[in-house]
Structure 1
Amino acid sequence: MSDYKDLMTDMGERARGAFAALSGITSAQKAEALVAAASALRHSQPGILAANAQDMIKGRENGLSDAMLDRLMIDAERLDVIASAVEQVAALPDPVGAIIDRNERPNGLIMERVRVPLGVIGIIYESRPNVTADAAALGLRSGNAVILRGGSEAMESNRAIHAAMVAGVTAAGLPEHAIQLVQTTDRAAVGAMLKAAGLIDIIIPRGGKSLVARVQEEARVPVLAHLDGICHTYIGKAADQDKAIAIAVNAKMRRTGICGAMETLLVDQDYPAPGPLLRALLDAGCEVRGDDAIMELDPRTVSAEAEDWDTEYLAPIVAARMVGGVDEALAHIADHGSHHTDVVVTEDEAVANRFIQHADSAIVMWNASSQFADGGEFGLGAEIGISTGRLHARGPVALEGLTTYKWVVRGTGQIRP
């Protein structure tokens, strides 16, 4: 452990030096560096795909689920999406230096709140190698230095993507240590990151319950948590039937392994067409685990157990139950949800507004698929994750979420009486 403490001290000190250097870099220079990084990703396609193929082979040998393999896999199309996301971040407005608000006091003092970077950000994540590029791009654009620790299952992919990103940004004149990758898969290195107070300013975990729980338990550094996505879709009695089917099937089956996938379907007992809704899911290849009322509608359904209401499947499985109106749906979500993304499907605006007001979720949607719970779809270019907590940032954490603020007071010689 002492070796990893030394490693993290060394990486942290280099990161703090890079962070200081970034304060003198213009917004245009940061944008140019990210465009160069995107170009390097595309130029490095053969090496990145070969590295990913190694990870995929190991993943299959180690028994990774289909959902985890889907998160891990990179092909030419996905790599182009990763590079495009970096370019989108480059094109976004730079939040650093933006004046949040301004107030002139009676004595003539001008008070401003101005956005500034968080500092050195440690990001711990699993499976998805695209996070390596997303996190590096968002960190750099918002003026932060990042220390990345990806999961062991994606180590070769992460190394290749990291190398391409560093090649791009350094060619554009930015410090190479603004983007660092922990090169070991030893879990003890994570422990050293979590205790690196004074070197790392904030830790962002992105992964399953066990990872987030460990980070929250062991961290001596502030944590911005990305928890699991137990996302609900409530079909109100006034839902349009075509919309209900399209939204439910898309929310579950478009990509089952992402955190915005629907895991629980709540159907109003007065919704007139529950049978076609369930048939559409079942015909699409989804296993439906239902309560007694749901099971009466289709013999292909199976009985839900108590733990199903609290499960993030990340697979073509959904838990489904009948509810007696919007308030019962909200009560179920309050008891079993993860405060990630919850959806109401209805043509009744009063019901929709009640759901929106009372669903205690980072993202609440009306008549839209929960698969839109993604920073790119929010116009943010990319995201570090979906924050389900209440402090600092909530929902998709992108550029603005990676800044804080300082007060700037401008005077003309005022003294306090």
Structure 2
Amino acid sequence: MPEVELPLIGDAARRARTAARVLRTLPTAAKDGALLAMADALVAHTDDVLAANAADVEAARDGGTPDAMLDRLRLDADRVAGVAEALRQLVALPDPVGDVVRGSTLENGLQLRQVRVPLGVVGIVYEARPNVTVDAAGLCLKSGNAALLRGSASAYRTNVALVQVLSEAAAKAGLPADSVQLLPAERASVGELLNARGLVDVVIPRGGAELIQRVVRESTVPVIETGVGNCHVYVDASADPAMAEAVVLNAKTHRVSVCNSAETLLVHRDYPQLDRLLAALVEAGVTLHGDDTTRTAHDAVVPATDEDWATEYLSMDMAVRVVDDVDAALDHIAAWGSGHSEAILADSAAAISVFVAGVDAAAVLVNASTRFTDGGEFGFGAEIGISTQKLHARGPLGLPELTSTTYVVTGSGHTR
């Protein structure tokens, strides 16, 4: 098959392919040493990173970018220290490469082992959040993959600074110089990446629905699909009111610009403190978009439409609906959910059992906030994103999800 013409990313992809052949053979100690060096270098170059980020934030603000999106873009010293610490945490995690998934000795004496191996070259397309640059680079390197990073134009200065620091530190630690590369921010570079079959092994999109759907529709390279977070919290009639209020407020207001923030609240018709729950959200600054019953319970609620049930707000907005029972809540989630994270707050074991068995999502939370759907919170370290597909990987994309497997068959002169 003739190679596709890739004027923007072709050289980078070919260099990444060469680097990937070396990375797949490196021992864990070499990769961990590079990760520690990268973390130290980030902290040492914090001022350089923040100067680049300040220019990106200023340009985005001048361009009318909403505050929620600016929050995704903005770095400060604590956030830089946080992403550096995420690299250090990867060192403490088991290296999946070489793990034996299963093995056996066949009746004919052949020894069969299914072994985890790196994917190879991983292309990642993402929007706004520069911390993804560091997380993705670290996860790819620990799992033995070369990374081609295509961030958004709004974060380009920041990403250039970050990748320069990361790649130089990795090279000084003995990794191939092209282990981590930043692709041009031109729109055409995404199209080229999606058509780099034979050079790129997998593409992972992380961002809004439009970006994800474009990647899924257009890519000739295999895709691990991450999804938007139209997440729901269902409050059952049996829920403890104090717990329900605390969890709902956390799920909605802890950090509104992230995919595991709750966007819709479903409340059982017999829940005794609907008015108090709504008042707590309004007092916290949340704009509520509700059905007729909800509007009757609090006069600050504005009318909801189908668009509200479908929307990932990423803001201090929340859709609210009163439902007859847990089955009605499941019907609503089946119609409008994105398969990301769904939560039930209940004391009834029967309601919990029905909800957990009936909901179709990457993560189901029982009496806990949707904000816990996160690779770090699950103990996986940093993550590429939350996969909402059902093939290969689902939920937080950590180290094992960035590997494939090889069957190693060992004989002693066996013939068939």
TM-score, normalised to structure 2, is 0.98
SS of the residue corresponding to residue 122 of structure 2 reads strand
1:299 and 2:304 matched:
no
Give the equivalent residue in structure 2 for 1:42. 43
Report if aligned partners of 1:238, 1:347 keep a CA contact under 8 Å in 2. yes
CA distance in 2, matches of 1:91, 1:136: 16
Distance 1:48 1:141 in 2: 23
Matching residue of 1:117:
118
Tell me how many residue pairs correspond in the alignment.
414
Q: Which amino acid aligns with 1:319?
A: A
Amino acid at match of 2:361: S
Displacement after TM superposition at 1:369 (Å): 0.4
Correspondence 1:325-336 to 2 at 5 A: 325-336=325-336
Distance 2:109 2:357 in 1: 40
Give the structure-1-normalised TM-score. Answer: 0.97
Q: What is aligned with 1:70?
A: 71
Distance 2:24 2:143 in 1: 10
1:408 paired residue number: 408
2:340 corresponds in structure 1 to 340
The CA distance in 1 between the partners of 2:367 and 2:260, in whole Å, is: 15
- Secondary structure of 1:265's counterpart equals strand
Give the SS at the match of 2:8: helix
C-alpha distance in 2 between matches for 1:255 and 1:308: 19
> 229-238 or 352-361: which moved more?
352-361
- Correspondence for 2:31: 30
Equivalences for residues 198-209 of structure 1 within 5 A: 198-209=198-209
Quickly say closer, same or farther: Cα 1:245–1:5, change in 2 above 3 A: same
Q: Deviations over 1:283-319 (max 9, x none)?
A: 1000011000111111111111121000000000000
List aligned pairs for 1:72-221, cutoff 5 A. 72-182=73-183, 184-221=184-221
1:269 maps to which residue?
269
Alignment check: 8 A CA contact 2:24 2:117 kept: no
Secondary structure of the corresponding residue to residue 115 of structure 1 = strand
* Deviation at residue 348 of structure 1 after TM alignment: 1.2
* Secondary structure at the counterpart of residue 259 of structure 1: coil
- Between the aligned partners of 1:362 and 1:24, the Cα distance in structure 2 is 32
TM-aligned CA distance change 1:85 to 1:402, over 3 Å:
same
Gaps of 5+ in 2: none
Contact 1:4 1:188 in 2 (8 A): no
1:223 corresponds to: 223
1:379: which partner in 2? Answer: 379
CA contact (8 A) 1:41 1:164 kept: yes
Taking the aligned partners of 1:69 and 1:398, their CA distance within structure 2 comes to 26
Give the letter for the 1:113 counterpart. Q
Deviations 1:248-289 (A, max 9, x none): 000000000000000000001111111111111111000011
CA distance in 1 between counterparts of 2:180 and 2:402 reads: 15
SS at match of 2:225: coil
Per the TM alignment, residue 412 of structure 1 is displaced from its structure 2 partner at its CA by 2.7
Whole-angstrom CA distance in 1 between matches of 2:314 and 2:106: 53
SS at structure 1 position matched to 2:139: helix
SS of structure 1 residue aligned to 2:178: helix
- Residue 7 of structure 1 corresponds to 8
* Cα distance in 2, alignment partners of residues 104 and 29 from structure 1: 32
How far off is 1:6 after superposition?
Answer: 2.5
1:106, distance to aligned residue in structure 2 (A): 2.0
| Structure-to-structure mapping, 1:235-384, within 5 angstroms | 235-384=235-384
Letter matched to residue 370 of structure 1: T
CA distance in 2, matches of 1:340, 1:368: 15
What's the CA shift for 1:23?
2.5
Aligned-partner Cα distance in 2 for 1:179–1:18 = 9
**Aligned counterparts of 1:295 and 1:24: Cα–Cα separation in 2:** 61
> How far off is 1:21 after superposition?
1.1
The percent identity for this pair of structures is 47
Distance in 1, matches of 2:25 and 2:262, equals 44
State the distance in 2 between where 1:66 and 1:259 align: 16
Using the alignment, how far apart are the partners of 2:17 and 2:186 within structure 1?
Answer: 24
Q: Match of 1:17?
A: 18
1:3 to partner: Cα distance: 12
Give 1:185 deviation, angstroms.
2.1
Residues 336 and 32 of structure 1: CA distance in aligned 2, closer, same or farther (over 3 Å): same
* CA offset digits 1:11-49 (Å, max 9, x no partner): 111001100111231101100100000000000000001
> SS at 2:297's partner residue?
coil
SS in structure 2 of the partner of residue 234 of structure 1: strand
The alignment yields a C-alpha RMSD, in angstroms, of 1.3
Aligned-pair CA distance for 1:414: 3.0
Q: Report the Cα distance in structure 1 between the residues aligned to 2:263 and 2:219, rounded to whole angstroms.
A: 30
Q: In 2, are the aligned partners of 1:4 and 1:189 still within 8 Å (CA)?
A: no
